[in-house]
A = this chain, B = another copy of it.
Amino acid sequence: MAKIDLARRAEIGLERRARTRARILNAGEALLAERPAPAITVDAVAEAAGIAKGTFYYHFQNVDELATAVGAKLSESFNELLATARLQIRDPIERLSFAFAGFLKKAASDHDWARLVVQNSQSAAEFKLGVRANIKADIADAISNRRVSVRDADLAVDIVIGVWLQVTRGILERHAGPELISQALDAVLRALGVRRHRQSR
């Protein structure tokens, strides 16, 4: 019974720990959506999360570590979408299109998420690199298959990311409707010089 007690207790502790950590993460997410990392304070996070400041330090070293964790969580949300695409879609252009449209749709339906993405695109190097690597892989594939006229893969990635981020900002600032998403996608594909092939969208 003592065994059970201890195991149970540890289990509860872990649960509790995870729950508290999640609350901090959510609070951090909300604040990081408003302003960049250097401008948020541990006090603010603790208050938003409804915990004591000491508790924050039990879970994170400092605000930067929280920002990193939030960035990682954000990366996951991207990877979910990308994983789907990777499994189901073979054609790199279609895959890119799927992801591009998917990200914008998500931004349109979840403004908090969109704000977070925009803020993190500025700082949070790791997050940026992850997304970029994914897009670049598809584009490099497309380039080597002569599916696009653009030569420079990095330039192509910049075009895709640049339009994506700016349209995301447009969604937030001008409440641009979702009907613009397909137009934006078409524009990006034109920019890349996509050759019609088996283009299904």
Contacts and interface: CB of A to CB of B under 8 A. Distances in A.
A165 B163 contact: no
- Count this chain's copies in the assembly: 4
A5 to B, nearest CB: 14
A150 B35 contact: no
B154 A158 contact: no
Size category, A interface: 20 to 34
Interface of A: 35-36, 38-39, 122, 150-152, 154-155, 158-159, 161-167, 169-170, 174, 176, 180, 183-184, 187-188, 190-193
13 contacts: A36-B36, A155-B167, A155-B180, A158-B166, A158-B169, A158-B184, A159-B166, A161-B166, A162-B163, A162-B164, A165-B166, A187-B193, A190-B193
A137 B164 CA distance: 22
Contact of A176 (B150, B155, B190, B192): B155
A155 B36 contact: no
A188 to B, nearest CB: 7
Contact of A187 (B122, B154, B191): B191
Nearest to A119: B122
B122 A155 contact: no
A39 B39 CA distance: 7
